[in-house]
Chains A and B, each alone.
Chain A
């Protein structure tokens, strides 16, 4: 029942949060980079999807 004990038995468990923070940041930076660099034609097309009443 006490699953915390399993976590405690992993050596160096405290490194995982750090790894996740770094991965997280890298992913976010990549996503932001993409958003800023995405081709204008595509961005215009997507942003007009809600107004497209076909």
Chain B
């Protein structure tokens, strides 16, 4: 694997229960978990705690390490900014009020409950997605998606993209390194030219990257034809689900259903 591949690929090879679980089941469980989380009304704290218990046990079962999952799951955090205005616009009992120039800002209790719930939901969902990506190789994930009727053309495009992502990432890193190598900074002077110039150079790099991808795809096509490619992509049929996998799916569906009930009962 190239240097970029090690940075990019989120799959962490271990031998654990979660790693061995069928990718189709894992995908269904992750989507079911995120769906359940989305359905729980704001303020359903007991349900949120139970869902957090599930992700935490998932992390422990997968032997990924809490630190790794925590670090990756904080990625979506900045987006919470878009919900922050709700603190002020939700009506309800005032919680904190403080003066701002011209008026008084009022943070309502309902607003705090809603924003905290959105943040928790988002965090829980990202954890489930991290667990899925870190314990399932993309090839298995694609086979699972195919068995859920992902169009063949899309599956093939994703597979080819994944295969060449590292190659193109290395190309992009080389382009960036070349730009850095050719850009000197004179002390006391602003580096990098005018903004328009900087944008044009970056555009040239993007164009060059795209052209290289066109040329590479021709070489790939020739290699595929020489190995018997005739426009048809064939794949092995996927194996039937094991009894354990079916049992895990049904048990999880019951657990998630129970948590959803609890959430609907306790939430606002």
Tell me if chain B binds chain A. no
State the A residues within 8 Å of B (CB): none
